[in-house]
Amino acid sequence: MDHLNPQPFEKDLATALSRGREIRVPGFADRVVGAVRLERRRRTVIRWSSVITGAAACVITMLVMRSPSEDSLNRQTVALVAREESNQLTDLLGLADDLSLLTPVVDKKSSIVEVLTTPGS
Amino acid sequence: MSQEDPILSDDEDDKRLMALVAEGDDDALRMIVHRHHARLVGYLRGEVGCQATAEELAMEVFIRLHRAANRWRPDAKLSTYLIHIAHNLVLNEWRRRGRKPTTALEFAAEPGDQTHDSARRVTELDEAFQRAIAQLPTEQRTAILLVVQQELPYEDIAGIMGVPVSSVKTWIHRARSRLRDLLKDFYGPA
């Protein structure tokens, strides 16, 4: 192959590259605007979906917060059981009180017995 | 909005149009695309060596420009900003593919009024240049495309590539040497 003059290298390089410097594509601007509009609609849908999802999450959270939780139910059950036991104990203690009231009467010596048991009587 | 002559590209008009794009004016976006897409597609085709991929990437550049319209500050020329986005997309494309493109042979020389033999020679030389450029390392090819094809100053290229000007100069020097070496059949040893 014949060698070209080294000098035109720069010129040939510039020529070869400048050939592709500008490539005009018919209808490209319309394609871009179409793609941008599509993306804008997609973003609107995503934004509203996000808002609706957030609102739904808030509603569910409020409902959950207003209804008693499992822990709360457990606490209420324990309180009820404790109150029931307390009542039973109170009943027992009440009976005991009654017994304690009676005890002095039982233990107390009657005056007749006292007279009879007194030496010298 | 009336269509303006794309040859009358003007930085101030770009700024005005970008402000309109930020307000959602699709006609302003259409004018910006009309004004800048040819150079952008040219650069991208030089990088990736494929017209379809170049158009896809150019489309993505303008979509990203539209997304960033509210945040865009006219510190640099819009054309340079577009090339900057395009360069990042090219890097992403190569990472996605796991390799860089190796051919760029879609260009067809236009013989014009030259003789048949001369035209054939031009075509042969042109294709050899495209093959050689496709074989350059990534940074060297980008740098040589931006300086020779897009005629950008070193400072702008450094900004686009995110490197010091000295690196750009080094890459361009190495690219020229490498091209001379690859094309020694045409020009003889460097």
What H or E segment, with its residue span, contains residue B82? helix B78-97
For position A64, what pLDDT does the model report?
79
Partner-chain contact A32 B188, CB within 8 Å: no
Q: In angstroms, rounded to a whole number, what is the distance separating the alpha carbons of residues B49 and B57?
A: 12
For position B93, what pLDDT does the model report?
85
CATH of domain B1-101: 1.10.1740.10
Question: How far does A42 lie from chain B, in Å, by closest CA?
Answer: 13
Query: How does pLDDT run across A111-121, given as a tens digit for each residue?
Result: 766 776 776 65
Contacts of B185 in chain A (CB under 8 A): 1, 3
**Which tokens in the block code for residue B178?**
């490498």
Nearest CB neighbour to B26, from listed A21, A28, A37? A37
3 state SS of A102: helix
- Residue B53's nearest CA partner among B6, B88, B99, B90 is B90
Q: What is the ipTM of this complex?
A: 0.74
What residues does each domain of chain B span? 1-101
- Mean pLDDT across B106-134: 68
Provide φ and ψ at B103, rounded to 5°: -130, 150
What residues does each domain of chain A span? 26-67, 70-121
Contacts of B187 in chain A (CB under 8 A): 3-6, 9
For position A65, what pLDDT does the model report?
77
Across B50-54, B95-99, B113-117, least confident range: B113-117
Query: How does pLDDT run across A16-46, given as a tens digit for each residue?
Result: 888 888 899 999 999 999 999 998 899 889 9
Identify whether the C-beta of residue B127 lies closer than 8 Å to the C-beta of residue B138.
no
Contacts of B38 in chain A (CB under 8 A): 22-25
- Encoded amino acid at A34, one letter: G
Partner-chain contact A4 B185, CB within 8 Å: no
Nearest CB neighbour to A21, from listed B34, B42, B190? B42
Which chain B residues in 86-115 lie under 8 Å from chain A, judged by CB atoms? 107, 109-110
**In chain B, which residue's Cα lies nearest the Cα of A11?**
B148
Query: How does pLDDT run across A66-87, given as a tens digit for each residue?
Result: 777 778 788 888 888 888 777 7
Q: What is the 3-state secondary structure (H, E, C) of A58-95?
A: HHHHHHHHHCCCHHHHHHHHHHHHHHHHHHHHHHHHHH
What H or E segment, with its residue span, contains residue B181? helix B165-182
**Which tokens in the block code for residue B66?**
């539209």
User: How many CB contacts within 8 angstroms connect chain A with chain B?
Assistant: 106
Please give the model's pTM, rounded to 2 decimal places.
0.67
